[in-house]
């Protein structure tokens, strides 16, 4: 049903549509999949199949978001298992009144998970287009000390850091510029192609 060509077209169309429509991409850990047209489908933005590769995360790390919405709030949840249907452990949140790249600290210590397990991070964004979803499949290792270790597509650190639960956290200059925002998301969508394409072969 899906072909690389139609996926590419969808991503290009999605990127082009960002000037008028506000969406977001979970850039780190690498997301399960992004398609603007179905990003409102719970629980994972229309992607029900887990990623072939998983980033390893410890109890405390940061996730990175590119948000093309001028006014948004996110809640980050964790679900345990190979392909969880429920995401019942809240592990982070943030809100912003600017577009841009944001870092959200997540904390899994409250989940009391003592052994290495598979799980999925779910990011739920509420903004101008309603409620949108992104997921990242991970290996959780309670003894991993810091950030994500991943072979994923995102190497650079976020330009703007958000703090959890902070309201009205402004982005620095550039984040509110629609043209910059559109280009940022277009880049992100194109960057995700190598990650997404193998899923459809
Ligand atoms: C994903 O699963 C949900 C709930 O089971 C279902 O409604 C939706 O159609 C599925 N999406 C795809 C793309 O298979
Ligand atoms: C997460 O980001 C904060 C800044 O927002 C930084 O101080 C902290 O070291 C980062 N943590 C990890 C595990 O990368
Ligand atoms: C952002 O959205 C919230 C919830 O809809 C609203 O209460 C708030 O006034 C908005 N803030 C700005 C700056 O638009
Ligand atoms: C984690 O353990 C603490 C202390 O035993 C307990 O109060 C808390 O309810 C547990 N949390 C979960 C999600 O099981
Ligand atoms: C935002 O993040 C994306 C994806 O990591 C990156 O391509 C882009 O250069 C970043 N933009 C800024 C302004 O840092």
Q: How far is the CA of 104 from the centre of ligand 5 (A)?
A: 15
Q: How far is the CA of 34 from the centre of ligand 3 (A)?
A: 25
**Overall pTM > 0.75:** no
pLDDT at residue 72 greater than cutoff 80: yes
3-state secondary structure the chain: CCCHHHHHHHHHHHHHHHHCCCCEEEEECCCCCCCHHHCCCCCCCCCCCCCCCCEEECCEEEEEEEECCCCEEEEEEEEECCCCCCCCEEEEEEEECCCEEEEEEEECHHHCCCCCEEEEEEEEEEECCEEEEEEEEEEECCCCCCCCECCCCCCCCCCEECCCCCCCECCCCCCCCHHHHHHHHHHHHHHHHHHHHHHHC
Higher pLDDT, 144 or 96: 96
- What CATH number does the domain located at 4-200 have? 2.60.40.2550
Least confident of 17-21, 47-51, 140-144, 174-178: 174-178
Average pLDDT score over residue span 21-34: 92
State which ligand 5 atom lies nearest to the alpha carbon of 154: 5
State which ligand 3 atom lies nearest to the alpha carbon of 168: 13
**pLDDT per position as a tens digit, 34-45:** 999 999 999 999
Q: For a ligand 5 pocket test, name from 62, 63, 150, 156 the mutation site with the most ligand atoms within 8 angstroms of its C-beta.
A: 156
Q: Which ligand is nearest to the CA of 49?
A: 1
Every domain of the chain and the residues it spans: 4-200
């Amino acid at each position: 049903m899906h072909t690389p060509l139609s996926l590419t077209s969808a991503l290009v169309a999605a990127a082009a549509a960002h000037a008028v429509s506000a969406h977001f991409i979970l850039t780190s850990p690498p997301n399960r999949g992004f398609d603007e047209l179905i990003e409102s489908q719970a629980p994972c933005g229309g992607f029900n199949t887990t990623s072939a590769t998983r980033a390893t995360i410890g109890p405390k790390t940061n996730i990175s978001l590119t948000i093309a919405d001028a006014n948004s709030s996110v809640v980050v949840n964790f679900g345990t298992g190979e392909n969880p249907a429920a995401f019942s452990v809240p592990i982070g949140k943030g809100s912003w009144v600017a577009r841009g790249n944001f870092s959200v600290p997540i904390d899994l210590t409250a989940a009391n998970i003592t052994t290495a397990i598979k799980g999925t991070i779910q990011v739920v964004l509420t903004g101008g287009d309603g409620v949108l979803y992104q997921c990242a499949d991970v290996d959780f290792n309670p003894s991993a000390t810091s950030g994500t270790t991943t072979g994923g597509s995102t190497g650079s650190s976020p330009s703007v850091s958000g703090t959890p639960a902070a309201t009205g956290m402004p982005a620095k200059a550039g984040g509110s510029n629609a043209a910059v925002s559109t280009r940022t998301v277009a880049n992100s969508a194109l960057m995700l192609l190598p990650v997404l394409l193998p899923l459809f072969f």
